[in-house]
Amino acid sequence: PPHPHGADIPLQYPPPVPPPPPQAAGPSHIFFPGPYSPHMEQQGDHWASEPVQQAGECNNMSPAPSSERNRFNLPPGHYEIPPRMWKKAATSETGAPGKYVIPAYRSGSAKWKSEQGWDTSDETSSSMTSPPHKRKMVVSWPSLLEVSYVWQVGVKDAGYIDSHCHIDYMFEKMSFRESFQAFMSKANFPSNFEGCVAVFCDPKSWHSDGLWRSLLEENDNVWGAFGCHPHSARLYNSAAEENLLKCFNHEKLIAFGEIGLDNSKAISPASVQREVFMRQLHLALKLGKPLVLHCREADAEMLEMMQDVVPRDYIIHRHCFTESFDIALRWMEAYPNMYLGITALVTYHTTRKLQDAVRRIPLDRLLLETDAPYFVPRQIPQGKVAYSHPAMAVCVAEKIAELKCIPLSAVLQAVRENTRTVYGI
């Protein structure tokens, strides 16, 4: 019979919510046990019928009983995503779809049949009987754990480092007052997360007893980069510079930045930005630290200023690159040791120019970034969490693998080597 809403899909998709499992055998973590037919798989912006791998069929195994199919060891209240919601992506060694689960949420892309008819709302009951993508969107620690299945990408032999994040801003926005190790535990960081470079770009944070010191000294997997952001250029003075140089006496400060020019917003006057940028270029060269650059609508101007001061073979990290391949090529030709940081913006459907650039930029010139707490990856159900964190850099790697049509492990291994080259970590 025709679909009530006119969609050309059979009535059995999506399936109705099954009755709760018997309590005697303990709670089941499989939301939809049993076979699914036809199999539906999300491919890009559309849905398509295509065979996918059933749970329990990996490594020539026979299908396991429903009580044993939770291959991700999810805690109570967490569910394995049914196969028809599996996303096709290069997340396995062979790039084959369906082996690992990274769901994608799109408003209105799926409908769930209830006693009242077909439900097309974006928010329904938040009870445990609701499908995972239909639970009420709440930004909380439980929701961070709830989306932690994104980390289960099946790559255990390739670690990664978030090369650019703002832990101080992240803790402030999340009102978090505990240690970074506690944060990693609460957010369920994956085992192959090897650390992050925390950037402190506000002169007000450069005090000797600031958060940066405890972060660097209490965590073996956190390193620091200091420099004045162009938006804060109006706050830069001799006292701030003195504090900055004192901070660089710490052995775990490994880079100078983020510094540069930003013509997209007039938060600091352009003339002040140029003066502070040039001053910091000379300081960075004197200290011998890699440069971390921030550039918005100022490529030609910044490149001209740098070519008069910075040696051609200097190591540079162009942070949060969002421009075209032509601009990337211009920078890479001017500075052969320049690496381009890619954030979760590459996962957004509106960044076609950036996605085209990432396809063409050599893999040995890329770095993974989250720029946390900004830019939540699109692999995470929209509305589940409000802010990103360093573990989400793996989502950037997954998108790069998809764009380049190569295994995720190849991206992680190459970019990990790039991070070691730039920062020595």
Confidence of residue 158 (pLDDT cuts 50, 70, 90): confident
Q: What pLDDT shows up at residue 142? A: 59
Does residue 73 surpass a pLDDT of 80? no
Does residue 307 surpass a pLDDT of 90? yes
For the stretch 93-115, pLDDT in tens is 444 333 333 333 333 333 333 33
Rounded CA-CA distance 402/337 in Å is 25
For 222, the token pair is 């956190």
Q: What pLDDT shows up at residue 310? A: 97
Does residue 159 surpass a pLDDT of 50? yes
Rounded CA-CA distance 70/346 in Å is 31
Considering Cα of 323, then 329, then 334, then 336, what sign does the dihedral take? positive
DSSP label at residue 30: B
Calculate what percentage of the chain has a pLDDT beyond 90. 55
Tell me what the mean pLDDT of segment 272-295 comes to: 97
H helix count then E strand count, the chain:
11, 12
In the sheet where 338-342 sits, what is the strand order? 160-165, 193-200, 222-226, 253-262, 291-296, 316-318, 338-342, 366-368
Q: What pLDDT shows up at residue 33? A: 39
Q: What pLDDT shows up at residue 309? A: 95
Rounded CA-CA distance 51/41 in Å is 8
DSSP label at residue 192: T
Does residue 69 surpass a pLDDT of 70? no
Q: What pLDDT shows up at residue 386? A: 86
Considering Cα of 92, then 97, then 101, then 103, what sign does the dihedral take? positive
Confidence of residue 23 (pLDDT cuts 50, 70, 90): low
For the stretch 318-350, pLDDT in tens is 999 999 999 999 999 999 999 999 999 999 999
Q: Is 120 left (phi over 0), alpha (psi -120 to 50) or beta?
A: alpha
Rounded CA-CA distance 34/38 in Å is 13
The pTM of the full predicted model, rounded to 2 decimals, is 0.69
Beta bridge partners of 260: 294
Report which of 360, 350, 280 is spatially closest to residue 328, judged by C-alpha positions. Answer: 360
Does residue 264 surpass a pLDDT of 60? yes
Contact yes or no for 178/145 (Cβ under 8 A): no
Does residue 67 surpass a pLDDT of 90? no
Neighbours of 67 (CB within 10 A): 14
Residue type, 52: V
Tell me what the mean pLDDT of segment 123-134 comes to: 34
Tell me what the mean pLDDT of segment 103-129 comes to: 34
Looking at 11-15, 34-38, 417-421, which range is the least confident one? Answer: 34-38
- Across 205-363, the runs of DSSP E, i.e. the strands, are 222-226, 253-262, 291-296, 316-318, 338-342
Contact yes or no for 62/41 (Cβ under 8 A): no
Q: What is the dihedral of CA 330, 335, 339, 342, to 10 degrees?
A: -20
Confidence of residue 46 (pLDDT cuts 50, 70, 90): very low
Residue ranges in 149-191 assigned as alpha helix (H): 167-174, 180-186
Q: What pLDDT shows up at residue 266? A: 84
For the stretch 386-419, pLDDT in tens is 899 999 999 999 999 999 999 988 999 999 999 9
Residue type, 351: T
Rounded CA-CA distance 79/325 in Å is 40
Rounded CA-CA distance 380/138 in Å is 13
For the stretch 206-255, pLDDT in tens is 998 899 999 999 999 999 999 999 999 999 999 999 999 999 999 999 99
Confidence of residue 371 (pLDDT cuts 50, 70, 90): very high
**213 compared with 121, residue with greater pLDDT:** 213
What is the residue-wise DSSP string for 330-347? HHHHH-TTEEEEE-GGGG
Contact yes or no for 194/160 (Cβ under 8 A): yes
For the stretch 173-206, pLDDT in tens is 988 899 999 999 888 888 889 999 999 999 999 9
Tell me what the mean pLDDT of segment 54-76 comes to: 41
Does residue 162 surpass a pLDDT of 80? yes
Ramachandran angles phi, psi of 225, nearest 5°: -135, 130
Does residue 41 surpass a pLDDT of 70? no
Tell me what the mean pLDDT of segment 274-296 comes to: 97
- Give me the residue label for tokens 């973590």: 29
* Diameter of the chain measured on Cα atoms: 76
Calculate what percentage of the chain has a pLDDT beyond 70. 63
